[in-house]
Structure 1
C-alpha cells in the first residue's frame, strides 16, 4: 500500500491573497502621499522599471515553493519504496508460517496424533519467527512514522520560509515603486531588489 502523503503546491492562492493586500497598501499609500503633479510619463517609467521586478519575485516564489513540494514528495516516494520492501519481507515470513501448518494438514491425513504432533513442532519452530516479526514490524512502523513526520516538517519549514521571503521581497519592491511614483525615476540603480531563493540572495 502506497503512502497517501503526496503534497500539493499552492503558490497561486498565496500570491493572490498577498497581492490583494499589497495592492490595497499601495492604493492607500498613494491616496495619502502621492504628488498629483507626477507626470504620466514618470508613472509609466516607474511601472516599467518595477513591474518586471515584481514578476521576478513572483516567479521566484512559485519555483521555490514548488521545489519544496517536489523535494518532499520525492522523499516520501523513497520512504514508500523502502516500506514496501519491508512489507514484502514480512509477508513472505508470514506465508512461511502458514505453509508450515498447512503441510501438517496435508501430511497427517486421518492420523489425528500425527496432526497434533506436527502442529506442535511447527509452533515451536515458529515462535522465534513470530517474535521477530512482531518486534521488527513495530520498529519499522515507528521509524516510518518518524521519517514521514520529519519530511513533512521540513516541507512546512521550506514553504513557510519561501512565503515569508515572497512577502518581504514583494513589499520591498512595492515600496520602491511607491517612492518612484512620489519622487520620480531614480537616476541610478541604487535601489535594486534582492530576491531570496533557497537561502541565497539574488540581486535584481
Structure 2
C-alpha cells in the first residue's frame, strides 16, 4: 500500500497497516516508553481521533521490537550460562522455550535414572544413612548391658568393655567418613 508523502492516518487504518487490532495499537501507545514522545502519533481526545505518521510509527515500532528481541536473547543467554555453565557457549542462540524443553527433558531423564536405580533421592539416602548409623550406635552402646543384664561384672571389666565399644563406634565413624569421601570423589 503506497501512501502519499506526509499522509497522516487515524487509528483503524494504522492498525490495519501494522496487522493488529486498534486495541493492541492503543495499548502500545499507552505502554511503550518513548512512543508518544517520538512524534509517531498524537493522542486523540474529546472526540478527536488519534493521528499517526505511518513512517515514524513503523520505524519506532521496528526499533522497539528489535531492542526487545535483543534483550530477550541476552536474557536467554544469561539463563543458559547459569543453567549450563561451561556448555553455555554451545547452546548460544537457544530461546527460552527451547531451554525449558531441554530442562524438562533433563528432569525426565533424571526421573527415569532414579526409577532405574542409577540415581537416588538425596533426602531418602540421608534418612536411610541416619537410621542405619543410629541403630549401629544403639547396638554398640547396649551390647554391654545385654551381656551383663544383672550388672554382675566388676567395674573395671565394665569400663574395659565400655571403652572397647566406644572404640568400635569411633572406628565405624572413621570408616563411614572414608566411604563418604570416596563417594564424593567418585571412587569406591
TM interval, short-chain normalised: 0.3 to 0.5
TM-score by length of 2: 0.36
- Structure with bigger helix share is 1
TM-score by length of 1: 0.34
Flag the structure with larger Rg: 2
